[in-house]
Amino acid sequence: MTTFDLAQAPLRELNQRLHNAPQGHWSILHPDGRHCIAAGVDAPIDIEIEGHVGYYCGGMNKQARISINGSAGPGVAENMMSGTVRVKGNVSHCAGASGHGGLLIVEGDASARCGISMKGSDIVVVGSIGHLSAFMAQSGRLVVCDDAGDFLGDSIYEAVIYVGGSVSSLGADCVEKKMTAQHLQSLAELLSASGVKADPGRFRRYGSARKLYNFNIDHASDY
């Protein structure tokens, strides 16, 4: 295990060393809300961050398994390509935005715009999510064990949303869909991979009504 103390050495040095590390296990101390910790890593390494982080932690992650023992600021795991980011606390807005792949697990709550424009990644939130989550989400899965805020899935494309609790309101062109056996299995596998204990049977599925894909004069009022 390599220990790196951000109270003793600069963030730039840490990220440079992480970018050059082909493998290994890292422990990062005193994050103290700094931005871009462990962003841009592209190797199958394990990174544990002991405390709260600022913006864009684990952004653009490829392959690495990152664990944050605290809460995260805006844009955690933004544009993730693969690997895992696990947050023990809460996350601020735009968690997992634009993610192409990989898995983001939030053990607490996520605030607004969670999974905005996600493009194939998976996000599992054990608590609740804020307003405008999965806005224009293109593909991938967003799982929320508790409640979702207003305008869920506004202008959504082909991402799939599972909500265990209530939904304040759905955004334009987002509708509830039937929970098939195939979806139940997919959700059960994702919850299991995330280490989250929840009964897939209590979730509802939401997705695109596909009415906004092309302009249609009959649907002008939806725009």
Residue 56 sits in the site that holds other proteins (CB under 8 A): no
The residue from 58, 73, 83, 200 that contacts other proteins (CB under 8 A) is 73
Residue type, 34: R
- Please choose, out of 47-55, 98-106, 161-169, 204-212, the segment that lies near other proteins by the rule CB under 8 A: 47-55
Selection from 27, 47, 51 nearest residue 38 by Cα: 47
CB 97 within 8 A of CB 142: no
Residue 146, token pair as written in the block:
């508790």
Residue 96 sits in the site that holds other proteins (CB under 8 A): no
Count Cα atoms within 13 angstroms, Cβ side, for 13. 9
CB 222 within 8 A of CB 173: yes
The residue from 61, 79, 92, 208 that contacts other proteins (CB under 8 A) is 92
- For residue 201, the minimal CB distance to other proteins (Å) is 30
Give, as ranges, the residues between 104 and 143 that touch other proteins (CB under 8 A).
111-112, 130-131
The rounded distance, in Å, linking the Cα atoms of 146 and 204 is 11
- For residue 191, the minimal CB distance to other proteins (Å) is 25
Give, as ranges, the residues between 24 and 43 that touch other proteins (CB under 8 A).
32-35
Helix (H, G, I), strand (E, B) or coil at 181: helix
Nearer to other proteins, 33 or 40 (CB): 33
Residue 5 sits in the site that holds other proteins (CB under 8 A): no
Residue 13 sits in the site that holds other proteins (CB under 8 A): no
- For residue 38, the minimal CB distance to other proteins (Å) is 16
Per-residue buried b or exposed e for 60-98, using 16+ beta carbons within 10 Å of the residue's own CB: bbbebbbbbbbbbbbbbbbbbbbbbbbbebbbbbbbbbb
Count Cα atoms within 13 angstroms, Cβ side, for 96. 39
Nearer to other proteins, 71 or 79 (CB): 71
- For residue 160, the minimal CB distance to other proteins (Å) is 25
Nearer to other proteins, 67 or 186 (CB): 67
Selection from 125, 119, 163 nearest residue 139 by Cα: 119
- For residue 88, the minimal CB distance to other proteins (Å) is 12
The pairing of beta strand 119-125 with beta strand 174-177: unpaired
Give, as ranges, the residues between 162 and 201 that touch other proteins (CB under 8 A).
none
Residue 155 sits in the site that holds other proteins (CB under 8 A): no
Report the interface residues with other proteins, using CB under 8 A: 32-35, 52, 54-55, 71, 73-74, 89-90, 92-93, 111-112, 130-131
